[in-house]
Amino acid sequence: MSVQHDFDLTVFNTLALKSQCSDYVALTDHNDIEPAIRYAKAHGLNVFVLSGGSNLLLPEKFRALTIHMLMQGKEILSENADEVVIKVQAGEIWHDFVCECCAKGYHGLENLALIPGRVGAAPVQNIGAYGVEAGEFIETVWAYDLKQEQHIQLTAEQCHFGYRDSIFKQQAGRYIIYALSFKLLKHAQLRLNYADVAQRVGEDATAEKLLQTIISIRQQKLPQPEQFPNAGSFFKNPVITAQQFSDLAEHYPNAPHYQQHNGMQKVAAGWLIDQAGWKGKRLGDVGMFERQALVLVNYGQASLQDVQRTYEQIQTDIYQKFAIRLEPEPVLLNQFGEISPHISAC
């Protein structure tokens, strides 16, 4: 285990925010987690766990031990004629894993193709797209519990998966995920509940065709971080009460919305931002992408302050226009490497 000092994280966060941490270690073996924690304790440092860096807002400098989860490997734990349980290490690239599973005939994750990041981050915000969430297929999560100071295994039920939510988000900083297993299907049950997806896949739908369709939809709509540094959807889709929704619908009968099980309504943050005139609009180096208003892009050398200035302005505008609060999706880190709550601008 070799610790590096004053380490530059600019290339390790997809928003390309300039950032340096005081201490950094790349881990390729989960047995090095405990020595890394001992190092952090001995030096009075917090531990910050870095995965693919695709959902992160980093300060210019912070004092912490960054543990970069780069462990690789996949193994089949069990299989029968219908299902396979596959264990995968946290450092594997998510999209490569999804493609490899589909090619081997292990199905379920196709709708989640091209989501940036590494496998270990998937359960944290329960990544989801086109009607599928990772949590539906996760069977077990292997993690180190910093509170109990021991290695643990959690079942999917114990992970409390919800929309962009899990125990790992609710108890941020407690668990270091180093592997997970997925139960996948050998006979694909294609999830085509998104009209756009169903239409493009067409009549002779196969899992491979669905995978390629999702890839092409995302390539058309969403900016690739290598070209336009971004952190995916920047805001969560707000969930509002039936009363708030009927107030909205009175003025905007075409507002896209998704009825929730509890009577609440989820509205499309991208639509709200678009309606407020922010699609393609910039404040300095930071702006909302011209083909998808939900994605905030760093068009130059933006700092965290530049990003905050822009998204707070958007929050204010949306609140004034629709009386709806937008909550940023990416994780915000403070100067001590701790995950901090976003301060709402309104």
Tell me if 70 contacts ligand EPU by CB under 6 A: no
Give the strand pairing for 175-185 and 230-233. unpaired
Name the active-site residue from 19, 181, 233, 303: 233
Name the active-site residue from 164, 166, 181, 218: 164
Stretch that binds ligand EPU, among 44-52, 177-185, 199-207, 292-300 (CB under 6 A): 292-300
In the complex with ligand EPU, the residue whose CB is nearer, 274 or 285, is 274
In the complex with ligand EPU, the residue whose CB is nearer, 88 or 294, is 294
Tell me if 285 contacts ligand EPU by CB under 6 A: no
Q: How far is the CB of 196 from ligand EPU (least distance, A)?
A: 7
Decide: helix, strand or coil at residue 90: coil
Tell me if 294 contacts ligand EPU by CB under 6 A: yes
φ, ψ for residue 103, nearest 5 deg:
-65, -30
Cα distances from 162 to residues 93, 97, 133, 261, in angstroms, run: 23, 22, 9, 12
**Is 181 among the residues known to form the active site?**
no
Tell me if 280 contacts ligand EPU by CB under 6 A: no
In the complex with ligand EPU, the residue whose CB is nearer, 101 or 127, is 127
Position of minimal CB gap to ligand EPU: 232
**Is 233 among the residues known to form the active site?**
yes
Tell me if 94 contacts ligand EPU by CB under 6 A: no
φ, ψ for residue 36, nearest 5 deg:
-65, -40
Tell the residue number behind the tokens 């989960």, with chain if given.
30
Tell me if 19 contacts ligand EPU by CB under 6 A: no
Within 13 Å, how many C-alpha atoms sit on residue 255's CB side?
Answer: 26
Contacting residues for 247 by C-beta, under 8 A, at least 6 apart = 323
Rg of the chain taking only CA atoms, in angstroms? 20
Give me the residues paired with residue 180 across strands.
88, 141
- The interface mask with ligand EPU, positions 20-59, x = CB under 6 A, is ----------------------------------------
Chosen residue from 73, 256, 277, 300 binding ligand EPU by CB under 6 A = 256
Tell me if 129 contacts ligand EPU by CB under 6 A: yes
Tell me if 126 contacts ligand EPU by CB under 6 A: no
Contacting residues for 204 by C-beta, under 8 A, at least 6 apart = none
Distance CA 156, CA 173 (A): 19
**Is 329 among the residues known to form the active site?**
yes
Decide: helix, strand or coil at residue 296: strand
Chosen residue from 270, 328, 330, 337 binding ligand EPU by CB under 6 A = 270
Chosen residue from 39, 97, 130, 182 binding ligand EPU by CB under 6 A = 130
Chosen residue from 293, 296, 314, 318 binding ligand EPU by CB under 6 A = 293
Reduced 3-state DSSP string for 122-184: CCCCCCEECCEEHHHCEEEEEEEECCCCEEEEEECHHHCCECCECHHHHCCCCEEEEEEEEEE
Distance CA 259, CA 239 (A): 9
Tell me if 255 contacts ligand EPU by CB under 6 A: no
In the complex with ligand EPU, the residue whose CB is nearer, 50 or 231, is 231
Q: How far is the CB of 78 from ligand EPU (least distance, A)?
A: 30
Q: How far is the CB of 239 from ligand EPU (least distance, A)?
A: 11
Neighbours of 90 (CB within 10 A): 28
Q: Which of residues 326-345 bind ligand EPU (CB under 6 A)?
A: 329
φ, ψ for residue 66, nearest 5 deg:
-85, 125
Cα distances from 151 to residues 27, 110, 135, in angstroms, run: 16, 31, 21
Tell me if 268 contacts ligand EPU by CB under 6 A: yes
Stretch that binds ligand EPU, among 11-19, 86-94, 149-157, 268-276 (CB under 6 A): 268-276
Write out the residues near ligand EPU by the rule CB under 6 A. Answer: 129-130, 232-233, 236-237, 256, 268, 270-271, 274, 279, 292-294, 329
Q: List, by residue number, the catalytic residues.
A: 164, 233, 329
